[in-house]
Structure 1
């Protein structure tokens, strides 16, 4: 290997590796990194001076250079490491960037404050609150209160979610390349907060018609338009928000803490989303209650997003890096083998969780029902379905510290595997639900909620880990691309499975607000139990192929100089 330095601007060098030659252009005042490992160049760049000795001297003064050989004019400069933060090009092939300097590497960040962690996490209280109300209440509201048929509601949900999914990569791309004095993520929190509150209100305030059966097309267009607008604005906030969580710290366990705190706020938001809608609907009644709910909860979402934007702090050294075309960035993401394996498992887990979210109110109302003792002992504002969700999410909240401790002992993959197996058995057990089986269902929900707490915290922290591997390979920080794909799979899975579930209900004879036939009940239970159980089982099997643990992360971060 030889390196020749030519004076003038820009400096051009010739690097010869295994008989080949690559020409590299480097701009002024850049430190050269020439990491030599088994005679293979792994990185490059250097000070823009005609004299190598002068370049090496200045580099040493800046603490950027550790010599491996004496330096004299006309001889190569061999460097073992660089602590100035410039890029080290990855893997065992010589790589280069033509016509521009390599982007800088970020310094390692850890030991972030609890104020920052909880301030950031609070934003997900609002996003989760909105998300659950839409996922659980929207279809039931439009079928049983507004009067739109289940089949048309299914088409509306599918079309809106597919459109929403296609916006995810664009939003990830825009967020990754945004550069402002407020950061590249937080400006979108401010931008989306108020419009999201307004759209959420109108989604649950449809026009009242006296004869819904003769106005199905009109009601369908209204629901579809407001659903698309609501989730588009949600995406504008959510993709940058989840991407920011992966950037806050480089520490393996501290990342889990950030995600665990965020998902604790998620679960508190989910609890609020089970109690507040039920109380508001009971207090104000029917359509008006849903409208009040939309206004009050929409305002709450805006407040928490703005608060998270104010308290959170970004890393300025992650800004200004070149971004790929949004859809090309998606394709490039799948070249990360660790993420691809993780994503397959997550997709099946998401499918397993999607159908119960759609059907839980239907199962509570039409299969288990409301026993007479419930109406006597329990306040009227607490319907059975609200109690079920409350029990489920409280169990998830209480489980988070346990999962955090387990993960520190056996690793994230093994911890998630345990939760998936739990979900498989709890889902299958729901097939034996029957009228009045509140106690049996409560038992299942406690263990299902414990598994759900794991599902919220562990997988996203695993994504944050494999993003570092991608940075080594590409020299870019592409959290937006990764979490856009993560959100896309969740949304598309919910759209497709929700569509199938509602279409199947209509096909087998579902009629709103009347006792259901045994055929309808049986198909409800099959979709609520065996389908999720099968998805979870496949998820567990595919997860066994994932092998990126704390030791692998340390090796990657060594190459990023962030150990």
Structure 2
């Protein structure tokens, strides 16, 4: 870990870097969107695990993986190569991430106990590989540029590519499963993941070639203890970190329950493709307009506007119940709000890093990004675990007509709990005040760099 200064600016153009940076999240979403949308359904309805087994699996894996996130952050902060600190891991993690994604969607013929062990090994391995490529995406942003507007553009580009990847998975997965499976969903999911994993792996190689850590580091060694002490007193980050639980918790509840809701509550499994496509394509509109809003108002205000739109869409869907028109309208409104909120979230993520350096003199980009990732994975774990528990409470049974309790459980997971979490997210972010202070903080940091 080191203190920062701008030592060199090399030749990669802004647009080349934007596309390279965005391609990493396209790669991530081709694989991880399969996990958030379909893995729980794959485990319960195809692989043959009980909902409660999946709940425990998700919880255990996320906790272990969350610890790995923090360790990954420390590793990034201690890394010094000719390629930079974060960039090397796009190269190193690409093949393991793709290979383990394929194995996660394979159904071995080894009996119930063997399958459960296999699921733990492959899902945990995939999650650790995801950490290896995903944490650097966040930690590298402060090193790509020190310009606040360019950070927003990079974050926006990243989100556009992410939504493209999510849209591809949302729209094409089930048709590909049917086409490639030849009547076998297990084979269909496996070969679909093979396609996405190969493309994702190649995209990570592309990212590695087309990003550059322009904001270089002075080799002033800082201990791990000093890095964690640098988090002390970073109130903007505390608020931001707590918000991650609620913001991403809402998202993961919806994603994991979508296919259940349209299959069993609405009785239109074909609509799962449509709504998943809306949830992937419409957010791009919110993402595209984010720079327009952020140049005219505080980032927190943009976040709140996106959250209100997201909540309004959820409310429409709750009252629509199984009315298809109402569900489609609500999903469009909710998706626009999510795109606006998520895009500005990734832009905001770098700002508490600068605040911490301004306050303590120590840059902890890797650790902060890792802890943020850890909290996000805790949110994913808790959402998955609680979803499974609620399905068990409702006596959910795979591939059969569901009871009224099971239908209620699915609706709670898909709409009601996400709406509550959005409200809590807005309450937490109402205490975030860094936007007003940030221009002066950035000015002082730049002055320090010139002095050095």
TM range (shorter): over 0.9
Number of residues paired by the alignment? 444
The Cα shift of 1:399 comes to: 2.0
Structure with greater proportional helix content? 2
Aligned twin of 2:307? 420
- For residues 17-55 of structure 1, the C-alpha deviation after alignment (integer angstroms, 9 at most, x for no partner) is xxxxxxxxxxxxxxxxxxxxxxxxxxxxxxxxxxxxxxx
The Cα shift of 1:542 comes to: 1.8
Equivalent in 267, 270, 278 of residue 166 of structure 2: 270
Q: Does residue 322 in structure 1 map to residue 227 in structure 2?
A: no
Asked whether the equivalents of residues 353 and 364 of structure 2 are also in contact (C-alpha less than 8 Å), the reply is yes
The Cα shift of 1:535 comes to: 1.4
Instruction: Answer with 456-465 or 252-261: which moved more.
Output: 456-465
How many Å separate the matches in 2 of 1:417 and 1:107?
37
Asked whether the equivalents of residues 282 and 289 of structure 1 are also in contact (C-alpha less than 8 Å), the reply is yes
Higher Rg of the two aligned structures: 1
How many Å separate the matches in 2 of 1:296 and 1:461?
31
Secondary structure of residue in 1 paired with 2:355: helix
Asked whether the equivalents of residues 259 and 461 of structure 1 are also in contact (C-alpha less than 8 Å), the reply is yes
The Cα shift of 1:330 comes to: 4.6
The alpha-carbon distance between structure 1 residues 419 and 173, as it changes in their structure 2 partners (threshold 3 A), is: same
Aligned twin of 1:106? 6
Equivalent in 38, 41, 51 of residue 140 of structure 1: 41
Q: Does residue 168 in structure 1 map to residue 69 in structure 2?
A: yes
Equivalent in 252, 256, 261 of residue 148 of structure 2: 252
Q: Unaligned regions of 5+ residues in structure 2, if any?
A: none
Secondary structure of residue in 1 paired with 2:296: helix
Asked whether the equivalents of residues 370 and 384 of structure 1 are also in contact (C-alpha less than 8 Å), the reply is yes
- For residues 153-178 of structure 1, the C-alpha deviation after alignment (integer angstroms, 9 at most, x for no partner) is 11111111111111011101111111
- For residues 182-224 of structure 1, the C-alpha deviation after alignment (integer angstroms, 9 at most, x for no partner) is 1111211111111111111111012036xxxxx3322111111
Asked whether the equivalents of residues 177 and 320 of structure 1 are also in contact (C-alpha less than 8 Å), the reply is no
Aligned twin of 2:195? 296
Equivalent in 73, 82, 88 of residue 187 of structure 1: 88
The alpha-carbon distance between structure 1 residues 107 and 557, as it changes in their structure 2 partners (threshold 3 A), is: farther
How many Å separate the matches in 2 of 1:160 and 1:317?
35
TM-score (norm 2): 0.92
Q: Does residue 395 in structure 1 map to residue 282 in structure 2?
A: yes
Asked whether the equivalents of residues 150 and 502 of structure 1 are also in contact (C-alpha less than 8 Å), the reply is yes
Aligned twin of 1:442? 328
How many Å separate the matches in 1 of 2:379 and 2:50?
22
Instruction: Answer with 457-466 or 257-266: which moved more.
Output: 457-466
The alpha-carbon distance between structure 1 residues 262 and 334, as it changes in their structure 2 partners (threshold 3 A), is: farther
Aligned twin of 1:44? none
How many Å separate the matches in 1 of 2:229 and 2:266?
45
Equivalent in 287, 296, 311 of residue 409 of structure 1: 296
- Measured on the aligned residues, the alpha-carbon RMSD in Å equals 2.2
The Cα shift of 1:391 comes to: 1.1
How many Å separate the matches in 1 of 2:268 and 2:21?
40
Q: Does residue 517 in structure 1 map to residue 403 in structure 2?
A: yes
Equivalent in 17, 36, 40 of residue 116 of structure 1: 17
Q: Does residue 507 in structure 1 map to residue 393 in structure 2?
A: yes
Asked whether the equivalents of residues 37 and 256 of structure 2 are also in contact (C-alpha less than 8 Å), the reply is yes
Equivalent in 469, 478, 483 of residue 355 of structure 2: 469
Q: Determine which structure has greater relative contact order: mean sequence separation of CA pairs < 8 Å that are 6+ residues apart, divided by chain length.
A: 2
How many Å separate the matches in 2 of 1:107 and 1:121?
25
Aligned twin of 2:341? 455
Aligned twin of 1:95? none
Q: Does residue 359 in structure 1 map to residue 272 in structure 2?
A: no
Asked whether the equivalents of residues 4 and 218 of structure 2 are also in contact (C-alpha less than 8 Å), the reply is no
Equivalent in 236, 248, 270 of residue 338 of structure 1: 236
The alpha-carbon distance between structure 1 residues 155 and 369, as it changes in their structure 2 partners (threshold 3 A), is: same
Secondary structure of residue in 2 paired with 1:167: helix
Secondary structure of residue in 2 paired with 1:342: helix
The Cα shift of 1:551 comes to: 5.2
Aligned twin of 1:205? 106
Secondary structure of residue in 2 paired with 1:205: coil
Secondary structure of residue in 2 paired with 1:409: coil
Asked whether the equivalents of residues 322 and 476 of structure 1 are also in contact (C-alpha less than 8 Å), the reply is no
- For residues 357-407 of structure 1, the C-alpha deviation after alignment (integer angstroms, 9 at most, x for no partner) is 111110010011228xxxxxxxxxxx3212111112111012222222112
The Cα shift of 1:109 comes to: 7.5
How many Å separate the matches in 2 of 1:282 and 1:330?
49
How many Å separate the matches in 1 of 2:218 and 2:264?
53
Aligned twin of 1:242? 138
- For residues 76-112 of structure 1, the C-alpha deviation after alignment (integer angstroms, 9 at most, x for no partner) is xxxxxxxxxxxxxxxxxxxxxxxxxx95633698996
The alpha-carbon distance between structure 1 residues 459 and 146, as it changes in their structure 2 partners (threshold 3 A), is: same
Equivalent in 419, 434, 437 of residue 548 of structure 1: 434
How many Å separate the matches in 2 of 1:507 and 1:293?
32
The Cα shift of 1:425 comes to: 2.6
How many Å separate the matches in 2 of 1:491 and 1:171?
14
